[in-house]
Structure 1
């Protein structure tokens, strides 16, 4: 056998031993670092809410393993390391010298290599059986202690850890709802319904909790309900106009409306508009019912009217699409509520109910607000909507009041003020543009201060103020909405409402906003 091959064959087992020893030492170091990482993360989890902290532990361990594998590979023993081990047992540095002159072809180099091999063969058994320091006690001890601490921290009860587990369930629930919406969006063939479901999915993906996601889902459903109301109003207005046209003798235009023939409708309207001045009063009134113009229309006004007619004719189809989208959101919301209840985190208020309640038939109901530091009494009135049918809506307001008190020999003061607003809009077939709005007055503030010496005393007087009942005025709905909302904002700044009630009031103003799409 060639001397070079014999030389490397003797070094190879030693090199393998060195590699195994390096792996064992790195594994002990890895164990210690992993225990340190687990303890640090468990301590952090007891002071802050960290959902899925087990994933962080696993991720950290994977990174540590990769780092130590790289360290083992980069620091793996070479031939020189194995030669140095032999060199401790073979005198006169014969092994290192032989490795150095391994590539030399001279006679002296070959003789030196043969001499080194002879000594290596003699010392092979002692070299292979040499004492090896593979176990590092302080690393194992530290790792074991830190691991025990990490396990103890995990099993010792902690509010933050429990909250983190609840947060994990909420995140899983939100992800599940996103998947449901995505699946339903893919099943839908109609682009409008698919778009509505995709928008709801995007909103929910930004939610920070299951409660917020549920509220966002309910909000999206409310927006669809408001769109449904608007489409229904367009449809009813067009139906009413068709009846008016028939009654006024414009049966041809009414038949075109029934046939949904836009070209013939546009042509007929253009002809009627040209001979506006010669039309009877009944026909002018019938045309004005829909156009709101009591004179001949311009081309722009005629184009706007045709657009409104087209939207009204498309309302039945749009209502069906909106109903499909609402049904999808309703089923998803009910499923989410049920899952939240099953997980032990029921919503603070039910945003969805199994009974298919919607705002198609009745709008948001009563709302009232009053503030004051003294005794108060309230007076209110019900706004009503004008139209052929009454709307299912009422509002209430609060009046003003005052309070005062004093004690003999003591000191005391009292003050009271209040204001109230009622809001509401009927949702029948009639118009909701004008409402009867109650007037309101600010309460008179009565402040009395007794600067006498402190002592025991009894109340000398106690009274209640009666707020005046004022006659309401008729004003546009869109005009008074802003005042109602501003009054609510001011009242919530003075008096902190419960979170559930505050959210309900916010949703109330969202639902009745006349400018909301």
Structure 2
């Protein structure tokens, strides 16, 4: 009937031993992990003087606290048990009395009860000596000295000028410039995509060109390659502008061809103005005039339309414009219908051709305007990269000069 009381007393006597063991385990693990953290910090600081390692100061500052925290967590997971405490107690001259008592703590036999009482009597008597024998700082002096030496080396390395800091500053500036350029290119792409005056093909071509430039800038390994990527995009843009200028030249040629005849001069003026209402009014005026045309005038108008259609077809092929080729085909059809005396069909084909030419003129104008804006933005992006490169170069020179001055002072 005395077993529960004996068991509780045994636990209460072993608990101070277990706490002392826990302190020992905690200090040993924290010291060991702190030594590893200090060594890692010193090694990282040393390596960072030969290779540029971004944010190495933050890694160094976080390494030792993280190492100490890891050591504490490991120590908590390896928490000493009461059985281990009993074994430590027996190691101080109790000849396995406490361990045996703990293992048979639930036994109610008279022999077990007597054995526990004997173990408790010896444990009470020797408890202060047992606790004192658990030296929590034993074997840690060398590790503590090594940790202190490594921390001192880390402090020296941290405060001495690092020749790689200038390179890191250069890398940071270039990274910031790249992000800015990518943002600018993305903004240009979105503006081109949202433009109402461009055709889907023109939007797609601009978008693909800008996306290619953005990827090239991101993949480039040095500032020169990034600038070359933007210059390559500018060359593609020049090709786009040249193609649109060829289309505009083709339309101007059509305007001159139509402006040479009195009956089609109003159409040429409407095309020059880019006005749909004026084009509709000119077609209505032409429809009325065609009612009073004689055979000779009709034949002359047919020849002029055929001539304009043939010239527009040549210009469209030179400009690689399917839209203008379609307009030339409709213009030729209008001439055929006019020659056959089918005025309504001729006017319908002529209207379709003029509307196509007018739409293409507007798209070409918008495309050239967009190309000019994109070119200006790309030029600004090049200036951003060049400025970052120049600032980084000045930063690197200043860092190198500071490191050289520090070295001269040490000498």
Normalising by the smaller structure, the TM-score range is: 0.5 to 0.7
Contact in 2 for aligned 1:28/1:139 (Cα 8 Å) = yes
Q: Does the 8 A contact of 1:83 with 1:95 survive in 2? A: yes
Could you tell me which residue of structure 2 aligns to residue 445 of structure 1? Answer: none
SS at match of 2:123: helix
Q: Unpaired runs of 5+ in structure 2? A: 196-202, 281-298, 317-321, 330-352, 396-411
Change (3 A) 1:188 1:232: closer
Instruction: Name 2:252's counterpart in structure 1.
Output: 239
Q: Deviations over 1:390-443 (max 9, x none)?
A: xxxxxxxxxxxxxxxxxxxxxxxxxxxxxxxxxxxxxxxxxxxxxxxxxxxxxx
Aligned partner (choices 40, 44, 59) of residue 37 of structure 1: 40
8 Å Cα contact 1:11/1:83 also seen in 2: yes
Paired residue for 1:315?
364
Of 236-245 and 102-111, more deviation after overlay is shown by 102-111
Q: Which one of 149, 171, 175 corresponds to residue 145 of structure 1?
A: 149
Equivalent pair of 2:37/2:64 in contact (CA under 8 Å): yes
Q: Would the alpha carbon gap of residues 58 and 143 (structure 1) be closer, same or farther in structure 2, given more than 3 Å must change?
A: same
Aligned residues: 333
Give 1:203's aligned residue: 216
* Correspondences of 1:294-313 after superposition (within 5 Å): 302-303=325-326, 311-313=360-362
* Gap change, CA 1:197 and 1:57, over 3 Å in 2: farther
Deviation at 1:252, TM superposition (A): 7.5
TM-score, length of structure 1 as denominator length: 0.52
From the superposition, tell whether residues 181 and 92 of structure 1 become closer, same or farther in structure 2 (CA, over 3 Å): same
Q: Distance in 1 between matches of 2:323 and 2:222?
A: 49
| Counterpart residue number, 1:127 | 130
**1:343 & 1:146 partners in 2: Cα distance?**
33
Q: Are 1:170 and 2:170 counterparts? A: no
1:341-379: CA deviation from partner (whole Å, max 9, x where unpaired): 444459xxxxxxxxxxxxxxxxxxxxxxxxxxxxxxxxx
Partner residue in 2 for 1:433: none
Q: How far, CA to CA, are the matches of 2:15 and 2:244 in structure 1?
A: 85
Return the alpha-carbon distance in structure 2 between the equivalents of residues 311 and 281 of structure 1.
24
Structure 1 residue aligned with 2:310, among 288, 309, 322?
A: 288
Q: Which has the larger radius of gyration?
A: 2
Q: Distance in 1 between matches of 2:250 and 2:82?
A: 94
User: In 2 relative to 1, CA 109–279 (structure 1 residues): closer, same or farther, beyond 3 Å?
Assistant: farther
* 1:97 CA drift (Å): 0.8
Retained in 1: the 8 A contact 2:90–2:97? yes
- Look up the SS of the partner of 1:88 in the other structure: helix
2:237 is paired with a residue of what secondary structure? Answer: helix
Residues 141/282 of structure 1: CA separation in 2 closer, same or farther (3 Å cut): same
Deviations 1:185-207 (A, max 9, x none): 67887174777665544333223
Bigger relative contact order (CA 8 A; separation at least 6): 2
- 1:16-415, aligned counterparts within 5 Å? 16-54=19-57, 57=60, 64=67, 68-69=71-72, 71-89=74-92, 91-130=94-133, 132-134=135-137, 136-157=140-161, 159-179=163-183, 190=194, 192=203, 199-248=212-261, 250-251=264-265, 254=268, 258=274, 282-292=304-314, 302-303=325-326, 311-345=360-394
Residue 333 of structure 2 corresponds to none
Specify the SS of the correspondent of 1:19.
helix
1:474-497 residue CA offsets vs partner (Å, 9 max, x unmatched): xxxxxxxxxxxxxxxxxxxxxxxx
Which range moved further: 137-146 or 38-47? 38-47
1:392 alignment counterpart? none
Distance (whole Å) between structure 2 residues aligned to residue 255 and residue 189 of structure 1: 31
Task: Write the deviation string for residues 48-73 of structure 1: whole angstroms up to 9, x where unpaired.
Answer: 34344335546765775575456434
Instruction: Report SS of the residue matched to 2:220.
Output: coil
Q: Report the alpha carbon displacement of residue 340 of structure 1 after superposing the two structures with TM.
A: 4.4
Larger helix proportion of the pair: 2
